[in-house]
Amino acid sequence: MKNNKLLSKQTGGISKLMLIMIVAGIGYGAYFANKKGLIKADSISSITSSMKTSISKTFSDDFTGYGIQLMATTELEQAKTVMNDFARDGYSAFVMEGKSKGRSIYKVRLGPYSYKPEAVAVQDKVIRRYPSNPYVKSSLVIYKPN
C-alpha cells in the first residue's frame, strides 16, 4: 500500500517535469527557427507568450509539495524573465501569484518536488551551477500543502 502511494506521488512530479521540459523545448526550438529565418518574429512572440501563460497557470493553481523559491517581486515581467532563464537551462520553473497588503506578489520557484531531500539536492546543484546569481544565493526551500 505504501509503495503504491509513493509511486503515485513520484509519477505526478515526473509528469509535471516532463510538461515543463516539452514546453521549454518548443520555445527553444521556436527561438532557433526564428534566428535561422524559418519563422517570423511575430510568430515566436505569440507562441512564447501563450507558453508562458500556460506554464504559470498550470502550476500556480495546483502546486503542492516542495519548491525552491528564487525570488518574490511585484513585477510580473521580471518574474517571467527569471522563470524563463531557469526553464531555458532545463529546470522546471514556474510563477505563483500571491497577495500581500493588497498588492500582487509574483514568486518564482523551481519544482515541484514531492520530498524535501529532492528539493534540497536541486537547490545545492543550482547553487553550485550559479554561484554568483543573487536569486540563487538567497533561495529558500518552501513547502506548500494542498
71 has a pLDDT exceeding 70: yes
Domain boundaries, the chain: 2-144
Mean pLDDT to the nearest integer, 67-79: 96
pLDDT for position 34 = 61
Q: How far is CA 61 from CA 49, 50, 95, in A?
A: 19, 17, 10
pLDDT attached to residue 58? 36
Pick the CATH number of 2-144 from 1.20.210.10, 1.20.1430.10, 3.30.70.1070, 3.40.50.800: 3.30.70.1070
CA torsion angle 112 117 123 129 (round to 10): -120
